[in-house]
Chains A and B, each alone.
Chain A
């Protein structure tokens, strides 16, 4: 099997300041890769650099589209935008960054559908209801504005909005970050089910090792903009080899 995403030797600097350097990542279809590290370690710079939100200074981002492998950094701006609307998706920590608050819930979900050329109102409406159901938002809320939604509902709406076009690769930056623990559990359950049902390929950033352990197959541990350790998720967490990972794992409070 071919990896769906392969990042090679990626570097991103802010002036002289290292954002992230020498980063590598291999993501296979149906796989979840977690990126962990303390704040300031470069996790968000890394995920932004491989998803089109930031332009890295050097490196390769190879995406397997099914019939060809393209280098995300070499393609035209218009093709890039098309990919971002169709094959890639980005779930922000703050759902308000990923949603249009002055457009109805249904309108938010339909945006990506319309951008890939769907015009049949009835069909679009059907897809919207299917996705509201998947993320457990009551159908009756379809025409309400997101600003009337709770934090957990907003996050579920953002997930629906992003997944509606069946993107090949989903990037998530702290998707359960600002949520209270009971809502967090519900989102985690939803994400796990969607990953299995739709065979999603996900890169997820989190500082919460417990979240990563429950979701990820593989893990990358970052410190000062570099990967200090990577590999099978529960191996890195159960038998960490690098001193920083050992420190990180042993710093988690047990409940």
Chain B
């Protein structure tokens, strides 16, 4: 379960005339287990900011964020690190990896945090890469030279290889063809059916309908202009 209570979020740009940008004032949101929430609205309205606050990348000035009853509190970075290891998964829009590390190792990494059985983890990584149509010949190469769609699927594989109780998805299907899009959407639906609380940004209506997502129009709750 993900809960945001009375969140205020603003940015202060110290080096650009101390500009203050208020993004949210009294934001409330709740995502239940087995539910998918899709954030909608034009870009710049604060969709990604919500995901980043939940994941701990962005601070907020007041209010409360609770993940399965654990508070996101930046005074205790250790707790956020633990939450990310066990409870919150995040599929970002872009792949950020060390150059020259093979795809298969990148996909295995999140599982190795909790499971030290190398063979078992390898098997799971191979399974999800096959499912996502990543050619076997590519597994031992770094994904940095892959096409946009392939990189995105590697990112999805890495993010979905584990069963996190809470899942954040930032346009996970943006650069995929229709066949691969359906595969990724099916994987997300599996996570929902297993009881994950899922919140995401999906720029096409097709994906939102496919996932049967509860849509929230951010323009109605955001103060960003």
Interface residues of A (CB under 8 A from B): 26, 28, 31, 181-182, 185-186, 188-189, 192, 196, 213-214, 217-218, 231-232, 234-235, 238-239, 241-243, 246-247, 250
How many A-B contacts are there with CB distance less than 8 Å?
A: 61
Task: Decide if A239 touches B15 in the complex (CB within 8 Å).
Answer: no
What secondary structure prevails in chain B residues at the interface with A?
loop
- Could you tell me the distance in whole angstroms from the C-beta of B74 to the nearest C-beta in chain A? 6
User: Total interface residues on B, using CB and 8 Å?
Assistant: 23
Q: Cα distance A79–B99 when bound, in Å?
A: 41
In the complex, how many angstroms separate the beta carbon of A105 from the nearest chain B beta carbon?
A: 24
For chain A, what secondary structure do more than half of its interface residues adopt (helix, strand, loop), or is it mixed?
helix
Chain B residues near A189: list those with CB within 8 A.
98, 100-101
Instruction: Write 19 A-B pairs (CB below 8 A) sorted by A numbering.
Output: A31-B78, A182-B99, A185-B98, A188-B98, A189-B98, A214-B96, A214-B98, A217-B77, A217-B81, A232-B56, A232-B77, A234-B57, A235-B57, A235-B80, A238-B52, A238-B58, A239-B11, A239-B52, A247-B15
Partner of B77, one of A231, A238, A239: A231
CB distance from B96 to the nearest CB of A (A): 8
Closest chain A CB from B117 CB (angstroms): 14
Q: Which residues of A contact B74 (CB under 8 A)?
A: 231-232, 235
Residues in chain B near residue A26, CB distance under 8 A: 78
Q: Which 4 residue pairs spanning A and B have beta carbons closest together?
A: A243-B14, A232-B77, A185-B99, A239-B58
Given the interface pairs A31-B81, A232-B80, A235-B57, the reply to whether A196 lies near B100 with Cβ below 8 Å is no
Q: Which single residue of chain A is at the shortest CB-CB distance from B58?
A: A239
Contact with A along B108-138 (1 / 0, CB 8 A): 0100110000000000000000000000000
Given contacts A196-B112, A243-B15, A246-B13, contact A235 B78 (CB under 8 A): no
Of all chain A residues, the one with the shortest Cβ separation from B18 is A243
- Contact partner of A186 among B11, B15, B78, B100, CB < 8 A? B100
Inside 8 A of A235's CB, which chain B residues have their CB? 56-59, 74, 77, 80
Which residues between 57 and 78 of chain B lie within 8 Å of chain A, taking CB atoms? 57-59, 74, 77-78
Known: A238-B58, A239-B58. A28 touches B98 (CB 8 A): no
Among A232, A242, A243, the most chain B Cβ lie within 10 Å of the Cβ of: A232
Please list the residues of chain B having a beta carbon within 8 angstroms of any beta carbon in chain A.
Answer: 11-15, 52, 56-59, 74, 77-78, 80-81, 96, 98-101, 109, 112-113
- Residue with the highest number of chain A CB atoms closer than 10 Å, among B14, B78, B96, B98: B98
* Candidates B59, B80, B109, B113; contact of A239 at CB < 8 Å: B59
Q: Which residues of A contact B57 (CB under 8 A)?
A: 234-235, 238-239
Q: Are B78 and A246 in contact (CB under 8 A)?
A: no
Interchain nearest-CB distance for B155 vs A (Å): 16
A214–B101 alpha-carbon span in the complex (Å): 13
Bound Cα distance from A26 to B99, whole angstroms:
30
> With A and B bound together, what is the CA distance between A164 and B162 in angstroms?
33
Instruction: Give Cα distance in the complex from A214 to B109, angstroms.
Output: 13
For the complex formed, measure the closest distance between the CB of B23 and the CB atoms of chain A, giving whole angstroms.
Answer: 11
Contacts of A217 in B (CB 8 A): 77, 81
Q: Closest A residue to B99 by CB, please name it.
A: A185
| Cβ A241 vs Cβ B59 within 8 A | yes
Q: List the A side residues contacting B12 at CB < 8 Å.
A: 241
Instruction: List residues of chain A with CB within 8 A of the CB of B59.
Output: 235, 239, 241
* Candidate in A26, A186, A235, A238 with the most chain B CB atoms within 10 angstroms: A235
In the complex, A246→B12 CA distance in Å? 10
Chain B minimum-CB-distance residue to A191: B98
Contact: A250 with B81, CB < 8 Å?
no
B14: A residues at CB distance < 8 A: 242-243, 246-247
Q: A186-B100, A235-B58, A250-B15 are in contact. List 17 more A-B contacts (CB 8 A).
A: A185-B98, A185-B99, A185-B100, A188-B98, A189-B101, A214-B96, A231-B74, A232-B56, A232-B74, A234-B56, A234-B57, A238-B57, A238-B58, A239-B52, A239-B58, A243-B14, A243-B15
Tell me the nearest residue of chain A to B116, going by C-beta. A197
In the bound assembly, the distance between CA atoms of A26 and B78 in angstroms comes to 10
- In the complex, are the beta carbons of B99 and A28 less than 8 A apart? no
